[in-house]
Structure 1
Amino acid sequence: MIYFDNAATTLHKPQEVIDAVIKAMTSMGNAGRGNTSASMEATHTIFEARENIAKFFNIEDSSNIAFTSNSTEALNTAIKGTLKSGDHVITTMLEHNSVLRPLYEMEKRGVEISFIETDNLGNPLYADINKLIKSNTKAIICTHASNLTGNLVDIKFIGNLCKEKNLLFIVDVSQTAGVFSIDVKKMNIDILCFTGHKSLLGPQGTGGIYVKDGIEITPLKSGGTGILTYEKQQPSKMPTHLEAGTLNGHGIAGLNAGIEFINKTGIDIIRKKEEELMWRFYNGIKNLPNIKIYGDFNTNDRCPIVTINIGEFDSGDVAEELLAQGVSTRAGGHCAPLMHEALGTVNQGAVRFSFSYFNTFEEVDEVIEILKNIISSI
């Protein structure tokens, strides 16, 4: 199978990640729950992962990072933990449902939402942001890149604006962490939400949230932490403030190995390879008859994603034909309803090809030929 669905989850993991999970499964107990060798092994591994993640995102204090099961949990924590009735929040049309659905839930509780519109290529209209800011605006929340088009969002620009206007800046880096350098200080990010199973090359069930010092956030969950057992409230100190229950230590061990692989290989080298795969594919199909390609390809700064339709054919049918020929893609709505509305693809959906460092140029060339054959046969 040729796997071009890496924006959903990376299938091919470094061997080091697999080995780390296997080792953890045979040696790790419950972190912070006693002084047995198994518990201490888990505590040490999770601490090391927290430290490596802090360095990866230029976070000064690793205790400001709490582990979650994915970016969806992190985003729910950020949105529901910082917004309250009477607040106003600004977001974009590019957002995933992991941002939109928690926001719609908070809207029912009295939070007001405004959306930054896009141009015809799916880029946010940055000039409109100032017009949306009100006296009760609490935060701007946005993705770093569209999971549908691959368009990047200029989070440094928005971060500087948030700093100037004294607004919280909450960023979803699900599609970019592990491919693009992210610096919470330079980008003025107050809350960073990330997942482990995509370009960070870790196992599913891993992710996290960074919360800048001084930001009050209500925990999404409460429960056991291994400390302050007799207190009735969740401990106020990070990271236990946002970490209730047993952590996914085995998965975190794998995530740590994924980050170490990225550091060893070089994030710039990984990005260059993925971009080359994307451009080879794009240039090989852009002039095919009846091909529609979505997103902005007038810039080199974009995620390794190419999303298409063929004429008026349903995206699911196209993806099924590709799958029958051994190509795994993603069709449909991609959990990005507003982006599909903006592109006019609500009914048709779209077929997304997303590339990984572990894909090959031979795979790209083979899929280009498969698409040519599909188009010539319809």
Structure 2
Amino acid sequence: MIYFDHAASSYPKPRKVAEAMSEAVLTYSANPGRGGHRLAEQARLAVEGARKKVAQLFSAPSSKNVWFYQNATMAINQAILGFPFKKGDHVITTKFEHNSVIRPLKQLMKEKEIDVSFIEPNASGLIVAEDVVEEMTNRTVLIAVTHASNVTGAVVPIREISNYVKEKKIVLFVDASQTAGTLPLSMEEDHIDLLAFAGHKSLLGPQGTGVLISKNDYGLIPLIVGGTGSYSEMPHQPQSWPDRYEAGTLNTPGIVGLAAGIDEINGRGLDEIYEHEQSLLKHFVSESEKVEGLKLVGPTDLTKRVAVASFTMDGLDSHEVAMILDEHYHIAVRAGLHCAPIIHQALGTVDTGLIRASFGPYNKLEEIDTLIQALQDISEAF
């Protein structure tokens, strides 16, 4: 199988990820922080070691500012639904957003009567910082943006936006699910207040892992309360971090697997990973011109997008193309709306969907050639 669905989840995983998870299950699968015996302590130390690696990679203030979740969606929900909004508060977001951002905001529009502005990409398919700034009012309390579109790959200029808001009392929340592990991100240098991402995409960890990092205390209300292994005598959720935001048993095997994925990234280097994936994207974009009827979407300036290439093929349903690639060529791509309906509305592809090929650190140029040949075959056959 040639795998081109890294925007959904990375594959294959590094062997060390599986080995770390296996060791956790087979040798110390106790409850971290829930007991003084040696296995519980070993599990706790493994989780804390992973927490430190995450903090270092993203320049978090400390490891206690790193909170583990089941996935990016839960982390995003904690940031958005847990934010202490008041009636009439204003949020700025973009039309690039995944439903994990859109749906919590829509829920809050109904329940707390907040206002939300959706910034449109410009004619080049990019979000411009000045458009975000122009939308700010004295009621704006949160800017919630993805770092890169999972549909077009377009990168949002986080640092340009943050330079405008760092002196204001506006919280900047970034969904880095498509960039964590591919593009450098620093909560300090990029002035990010809340940062969420999946562990199973470019960070090369397993499914069942997500992270929210909070630079400071923004008064977030915990979405889940319960056992924390600490302050058990208290009837309410404790205030101490990370316990306040991590009720329940943590996914120790998944978390140590994520730590092993980060080790792989650190060993290879973000710059090397980015350059490799960019070379794959450039090759696909160039070679796709040979396929009659194939139309790419997204910025033509490839330096302003990650390795995501979405396209249509004249007269063909996106799901049908993906099915043919899977069944006849053993190539995995993603078809449909990619859980990001608003950008599809802007692109005019809500009814047809798009075929998305997304590239990862282990893909090769020859695999791109195989995909192009398959698309040529399909185009000629129909």
Q: Equivalent residue for 2:49?
A: 48
1:135 aligns with 2:138: yes
1:89 aligns with 2:91: yes
Which piece of structure 1 moves more, 333-342 or 119-128?
119-128
Q: Equivalent residue for 1:108?
A: 110
Q: Equivalent residue for 1:214?
A: 217
Which piece of structure 1 moves more, 212-221 or 196-205?
212-221
Match of 1:17, SS state, is helix
Q: Equivalent residue for 2:294?
A: 291
Give the alignment's TM-score, normalised by structure 1.
0.98
Q: Shift of the alpha carbon at 1:273?
A: 1.1
Query: Structure 1 stretches (4+) deviating beyond 6 angstroms?
Result: none
**CA RMSD, 1 decimal:** 1.1
Q: Equivalent residue for 1:368?
A: 372
Q: Shift of the alpha carbon at 1:19?
A: 0.4
Taking the TM superposition and a 5 Å limit, the aligned residue runs for 1:1-378 are: 1-28=1-28, 29-84=30-85, 85-109=87-111, 110-324=113-327, 325-378=329-382
Match of 1:286, SS state, is helix
Q: Shift of the alpha carbon at 1:20?
A: 0.3
Which piece of structure 1 moves more, 277-286 or 11-20?
277-286
Whether the aligned pair in 1 keeps the contact of 2:84 and 2:221 (CA below 8 Å) is no
Distance in 2 separating the partners of 1:106 and 1:373: 47
The one-letter code sitting in structure 1 at the alignment partner of 2:246 is E
Match of 2:131, SS state, is helix
Distance in 1 separating the partners of 2:76 and 2:232: 27
Q: Shift of the alpha carbon at 1:83?
A: 4.0
Q: Shift of the alpha carbon at 1:320?
A: 1.1
Q: Shift of the alpha carbon at 1:376?
A: 1.3
Distance in 1 separating the partners of 2:207 and 2:98: 18
The one-letter code sitting in structure 1 at the alignment partner of 2:169 is N
Whether the aligned pair in 1 keeps the contact of 2:128 and 2:157 (CA below 8 Å) is no
Distance in 2 separating the partners of 1:99 and 1:312: 32
Distance in 1 separating the partners of 2:124 and 2:350: 16
Which piece of structure 1 moves more, 178-187 or 120-129?
120-129
Deviations 1:307-358 (A, max 9, x none): 1110132111111111122111000000011110111101010000001111
Whether the aligned pair in 1 keeps the contact of 2:133 and 2:161 (CA below 8 Å) is no
Distance in 1 separating the partners of 2:128 and 2:217: 31
Q: Shift of the alpha carbon at 1:359?
A: 1.2
Distance in 1 separating the partners of 2:212 and 2:27: 26
Deviations 1:216-274 (A, max 9, x none): 11101000000000111111111011000000001001000000111011111111111
Distance in 2 separating the partners of 1:74 and 1:271: 25
Distance in 2 separating the partners of 1:88 and 1:335: 24
Deviations 1:164-204 (A, max 9, x none): 33210000000000001100111110000011000000010
Match of 1:165, SS state, is coil
Distance in 1 separating the partners of 2:311 and 2:172: 32
Whether the aligned pair in 1 keeps the contact of 2:335 and 2:353 (CA below 8 Å) is yes
Q: Shift of the alpha carbon at 1:288?
A: 2.5
Task: State the identity %.
Answer: 41
Distance in 1 separating the partners of 2:312 and 2:197: 29
Tell me the matched-pair count.
Answer: 378
Q: Shift of the alpha carbon at 1:287?
A: 4.3
Distance in 1 separating the partners of 2:305 and 2:131: 22
Which piece of structure 1 moves more, 204-213 or 93-102?
204-213
Match of 1:78, SS state, is helix
Distance in 1 separating the partners of 2:97 and 2:316: 25
Distance in 1 separating the partners of 2:158 and 2:174: 8
Whether the aligned pair in 2 keeps the contact of 1:139 and 1:170 (CA below 8 Å) is yes
The one-letter code sitting in structure 2 at the alignment partner of 1:301 is K
The one-letter code sitting in structure 2 at the alignment partner of 1:339 is I
Whether the aligned pair in 1 keeps the contact of 2:61 and 2:215 (CA below 8 Å) is no
Whether the aligned pair in 1 keeps the contact of 2:81 and 2:108 (CA below 8 Å) is yes
Q: Shift of the alpha carbon at 1:214?
A: 3.2
The one-letter code sitting in structure 1 at the alignment partner of 2:363 is N
Which piece of structure 1 moves more, 179-188 or 78-87?
78-87
